[in-house]
Amino acid sequence: MSIIEKALNKSVAQRLPVSKLTGGTLDAEADEDFEPAYERHPSFNDTLPLVKLDFAKMESQGLLPSEDHAMRLREEYRRIKWPLLDVALNRTSHELENSNLIMVTSSIPGEGKTFCTINLALSMARQKQCTVLLVDADTAKPKISRLLGLDEKPGLSELLEDPGTVLTDVMHRTSVDRLFIVPAGVATQDSPELMAGGRMRALVRELAQLPRGHIVIFDTAPLLANNEAQVMSRLVGQVAFVIRADTTPRVAVREAISLVNKKAALGVILNQTTTGFGAKYYGDYYSYGRD
Ligand SMILES: Nc1ncnc2c1ncn2[C@@H]1O[C@H](COP(=O)(O)OP(=O)(O)OP(=O)(O)O)[C@@H](O)[C@H]1O
Ligand SMILES: [Mg+2]
Ligand nearest, relative to CA of residue 241 = 1
Q: Please name every residue paired with 136 in a beta bridge, in sequence order, or none if there are none.
A: 219
Q: Ligand 1 atom closest to Cα of 282?
A: 1
Domain contains 35: no
Q: Taken in order 42, 48, 51, 52, is the CA torsion positive or negative?
A: positive
* pLDDT tens track, the chain, 291 positions: 555 555 555 433 333 333 333 333 333 334 555 555 678 999 999 999 999 999 999 999 989 888 778 888 888 889 899 999 988 987 665 578 999 999 999 999 999 999 999 999 999 999 988 999 999 999 889 999 999 999 999 999 999 999 999 999 999 999 999 999 999 998 776 777 888 899 999 999 999 999 999 999 999 999 998 889 999 999 999 999 999 887 889 899 999 999 999 999 999 998 865 444 444 555 666 644 444
CB of 115 closer than 6 angstroms to any ligand 1 atom: yes
Q: Is residue 30 part of a domain?
A: no
Residue 27 has, within 13 A of its CA and on its CB side, a CA count of: 14
In short, whether 228's Cβ falls inside 6 Å of ligand 1 is no
How many structural domains compose the chain? 1
Q: What pTM value is reported for the model?
A: 0.87
Q: Which atom of ligand 1 is nearest to the CA of 242?
A: 21
Residue 140 lies in a domain: yes
Assess if residue 37 is contained within a domain.
Answer: no
Residue 29 forms part of a structural domain: no
Q: Can you give the three-state secondary structure of 106-175, one letter per residue?
A: ECCCCCCHHHHHHHHHHHHHCCCCCEEEEEECCCCCCHHHHHCCCCCCCCHHHHHHCCCCCHHHHCEEEC
Task: Determine the atom of ligand 1 nearest the C-alpha atom of 109.
Answer: 25
* Closest CA to ligand 1's atom 3: 273
CB of 149 sitting under 6 A from ligand 1: no
Alpha carbon 161 to its chain's center: 23
Ligand lying closest to the C-alpha of residue 225 = 1
Dist. CA 216–CA 134, nearest whole Å:
6
126 Cα to the center of ligand 1, angstroms: 22
Report the separation in Å between the CA atom of 114 and the middle of ligand 1, taken as the mean of its atom positions. 6
Domain assignment of residue 38, yes or no: no
- Reference 117, options 220, 204, 207; nearest CA is 220
CA distance 186 to 190: 11
229-266 residues labelled b (16+ CB within 10 A) or e (exposed): bbbbbebbbbbbbbbbbeebeeebbeebbeebeeebbb
Q: Which of 72, 74, 71, 98 is nearest to 87 (CA)?
A: 98
Three-class SS state of 244: strand
Using a 6 Å cutoff on CB, does residue 62 contact ligand 1?
yes
Of 169, 176, 178, the C-alpha closest to 49 is 169
Q: For residues 154 and 169, give the distance between their C-alpha atoms in angstroms, rounded to a whole number.
A: 8
Residue 218 lies in a domain: yes
Q: Yes or no: say if 87 and 96 are a contact pair by the CB < 8 Å rule.
A: yes
The sign one gets for the Cα dihedral 84, 90, 95, 97 is: positive
d(CA 106, CA 112): 8
The answer to whether residue 32 is domain-embedded is no
Supply the CATH number for residue 181's domain: 3.40.50.300
Range of the domain at 154: 3-10+43-286
Nearest Cα residue to atom 12 of ligand 1: 112
CA of 179 to the centre of ligand 2 (A): 19
